Structure 1
Amino acid sequence: MSKKIYGIIPPIVTPFDANGEIDEKALRQNVQFVLTRGVHGICFGGSTGEGHTLTSDELERVAEICAEEAKGQVPVIAGIITNSTRDAAHKAKLMTKYAIDALQITPVHYVFKPDETATYNHFKTLSETTDLPILIYNVVPWNYLAPDLLVKIMTEIPNVKGVKQSAGDLKLFADLMITAPEGSLIFSAVDALLYPSFAMGSHGTIAANPAAVPGVCVALWDAVQAGNHKLGREIHEALLRFWNTISADNLPANVKHALSLQGVDSGLPRAPMPKTSDAQAAKIKAALSEVLKYEKVVEPA
């Protein structure tokens, strides 16, 4: 890999205007915001970034903007969420035109679930399509890949370098941590349990909390790396209370709302996702004021 990939990597939101078009100025502001919070990388086109709604042309434009704003300071990871090997390979090839350091790719997510051999071949084909390192984004509930299959893919397909492990079962995360081949990167996307994930040796996180409150997540990462578990638990509890206010079917909209309360223009969710409700907004505001007490801010480079 051209850059070391670790730590707090926010899957940034994609700001949309009232017509559902990408607000490029707001997108640049979002990248700049997370960089001032000391993050270790950025990811675009993920779930929080509503990547499932982006056309290939839009994904390209977002890639170009993120690479321009990052200016090589941190790794940039491109999310690919699609339902066919052909389309995923097409998007992976497009990303090679930009200063992208890795790809985050989901298994297919429509109702028809491929068997393990088909899933293995999906990632094998993608690995043969691009030289960029691939992280498997293990998030799809009805196509959730077991640790044994993930280990087989990482062991036998050289370009698959790691896994972003989602869902709330910390046991699956723990099993992956102790069985993954040496040199693999295992990232936690279990937002409610970032603290124990870090304590167990996770290489970092690419998750919604870092997109909404990146400076707080950097503070949590730093506390755990320094062995300050008293502070780590305090931050964990504040983050958990905050997470409980944004975790919903309109999660990306709620992350955008939390960012707007911090002065970051993040636009609207893309239809048909609803905006943050008044009831959600009140809870987010209260929890945000508490969690931001732990925020870390750095001077821009």
Structure 2
Amino acid sequence: MSLELHGIIPPLVSPFTADEEPDLAALRAEVRYHVDLGVHGLCVTGSTGDGQMLSLEDSVAIARTAVQEAAGRVPVIAGIIRDSTKEVVRYGREIAATGVDALQVTPVHYLFQPDEETTLRYYRRIADETGLPVVIYNVIPYALIPATTVARVLDEVPNVIGVKQSGGNIHQLADLLRLAPEGGKVFTAVDDLLYPSYLLGAQGAISATLTVVPELCLAQWDAVQRGDHAAALELHNKQLPVWRAIDGPNMTARIKTALALQGRNGGHSLSPLTPVSDAEREALRAALVAADVKLA
């Protein structure tokens, strides 16, 4: 199954109304915003989209809306964060009917971590039973899939086409890139080290910073592609304080505030996420101003 993924793939927020229903109009506006900027793909219902909190119905509605609005201009990936193979397949089959191009799937992580052979069977079954390409989402800090296992899954399971290496672990990313799996691409989600990730060989990024400041991230990706490392480093130094400001236990609430400061509608957050404090809001504002991001 052929699907070309590369470059800057922002993981979108899931906007909600005050009564915690998906705000699909706000989602459509975010899809248009990113596609018009020239991103290379979109991801919905991942961690930045509160995927772990979403019902099947909400996940399907969000995925369907993103696919409709993207209208084939870029690939759309839908995240699934569940804790059994049966549930991942149930979500995946329903989401597949929306027309998404691929699924992004975490390992199970509550309470126990499968061994290597079980992990291979897990991703093989998901790809086989959903009929969609799968991107491994290696994010769970206490259940990280070892680089050697990720490489095996990429090389041995045909429809597993990539991995989003997250968890703030540049060492895991480096180990994985050294192994150079031929069966899929490696994307970085080490937000404070996107530039070094590209230099190590990451074939793109799927990370929260891309959603907050996509123009900076696109410019950095382009700078790396043309070998302009002075520009790429300058952009790194602008992006880094933005990541520091959004990184925290209430990260998706912070991201939505960062969007609002730019005049974008990320919608309300879901309970029980901690609301953004005045101090956090001012830190976000200061980071965006320092990065030369236009505020509303």
Q: Please, what TM-score do these two structures have when normalized by structure 2? A: 0.96
- State the secondary structure of the residue aligned to 1:20: coil
> Would the aligned equivalents of 1:268 and 1:275 in 2 still touch at CA under 8 Å?
no
- State the secondary structure of the residue aligned to 1:164: strand
> Would the aligned equivalents of 1:9 and 1:42 in 2 still touch at CA under 8 Å?
yes
**Corresponding position of 1:283:** 283
How far apart, in 1, do the equivalents of 2:2 and 2:181 lie? 20
Q: Percent identity?
A: 43
Shift of 1:112: 2.3
Query: How does 1:1-301 map onto structure 2 within 5 Å?
Result: 1=1, 3-293=3-293
Name the structure, 1 or 2, with higher relative contact order (CA <8 Å, separation 6+).
1
How far apart, in 1, do the equivalents of 2:225 and 2:61 lie? 35
How far apart, in 2, do the equivalents of 1:4 and 1:234 lie? 29
Shift of 1:22: 1.0
Letter in 2 for 1:175: D
> Would the aligned equivalents of 2:195 and 2:232 in 1 still touch at CA under 8 Å?
yes
> Would the aligned equivalents of 1:51 and 1:81 in 2 still touch at CA under 8 Å?
yes
- How many correspondences in the alignment? 295
Displacement over 6 Å in runs of 4+: none
Task: Show CA shifts across 1:272-301 (max 9, x none).
Answer: 00221110100100111222459xxxxxxx
Letter in 1 for 2:17: D
> Would the aligned equivalents of 2:154 and 2:183 in 1 still touch at CA under 8 Å?
no
**Corresponding position of 1:299:** none
How far apart, in 1, do the equivalents of 2:199 and 2:233 lie? 11
The 1:243/1:17 distance shift into structure 2, 3 A limit, reads same
Shift of 1:3: 4.4
Letter in 1 for 2:226: A
- State the secondary structure of the residue aligned to 2:248: coil
Single out whichever of 28-37 and 246-255 deviates more from structure 2: 28-37
Shift of 1:113: 2.2
How far apart, in 1, do the equivalents of 2:119 and 2:223 lie? 38
**Corresponding position of 1:297:** none
Task: Show CA shifts across 1:204-253 (max 9, x none).
Answer: 11100011111111011011111110010010011111111110011111
- State the secondary structure of the residue aligned to 1:36: helix
Letter in 1 for 2:19: N
> Would the aligned equivalents of 1:2 and 1:101 in 2 still touch at CA under 8 Å?
no
How far apart, in 2, do the equivalents of 1:65 and 1:215 lie? 23
> Would the aligned equivalents of 1:41 and 1:74 in 2 still touch at CA under 8 Å?
yes
Shift of 1:27: 1.1
How far apart, in 1, do the equivalents of 2:264 and 2:192 lie? 24
Over aligned residue pairs, what C-alpha RMSD do you find? Answer: 1.6
Query: Unpaired segments of 5 or more residues in structure 1?
Result: 295-301
How far apart, in 1, do the equivalents of 2:73 and 2:15 lie? 22
Single out whichever of 87-96 and 114-123 deviates more from structure 2: 114-123
> Would the aligned equivalents of 1:138 and 1:165 in 2 still touch at CA under 8 Å?
yes
Shift of 1:175: 1.4
- State the secondary structure of the residue aligned to 1:122: helix
Task: Show CA shifts across 1:76-120 (max 9, x none).
Answer: 001011001001011111122122111100001222222223222
> Would the aligned equivalents of 2:155 and 2:183 in 1 still touch at CA under 8 Å?
no
The 1:6/1:27 distance shift into structure 2, 3 A limit, reads same
Query: Unpaired segments of 5 or more residues in structure 2?
Result: none
Letter in 2 for 1:205: A
